[in-house]
Amino acid sequence: METETELGKITIAPEVLVTTARLTALAVPGVARLVPPPGVGRLLPNDGVKIKTVEDGVLVTVYLVADPGINMLNVGRKVRAEITRALEEMVGVEVRAVDVHIEDVGSP
């Protein structure tokens, strides 16, 4: 992501967006861990967060394992809200969508 001002250019590496989304998701109560996306992606190193930059913002996809005994719908909503808040307030990018995939439930 790049922003140009009269004083110069600000460049934010995509890894900053991924790290911010990853740490934010892991801080939500009920998230046990992040996992790579299903399919071929499971063979490649991946931290469970995919960011796609579009012309007017970013699209975020998160793959996670939920803690047992929690309301998964509420956890998904909280992850979506917290990632949106973190990226918009801390990084200053417009979030167009946050897709949350709960891939499994962790062991008690």
Q: What CATH code is carried by the domain that includes residue 53?
A: 3.30.70.1350
Domain assignment of residue 96, given as a range: 13-105
Task: For residue 7, tell me if it sits in a domain.
Answer: no
Task: For residue 5, tell me if it sits in a domain.
Answer: no
Task: For residue 1, tell me if it sits in a domain.
Answer: no
Task: For residue 8, tell me if it sits in a domain.
Answer: no
Q: Could you read off the pLDDT of 13-47 as tens digits, one per residue?
A: 889 999 999 999 999 999 999 998 877 555 555 68
Task: For residue 2, tell me if it sits in a domain.
Answer: no
pLDDT at 4 over 60: yes
Tally of structural domains, the chain:
1
Nearest partner of 94 among 56, 44, 66, judged by Cα:
56
For the whole model, what pTM was predicted? 0.87
State the pLDDT at residue 32.
95
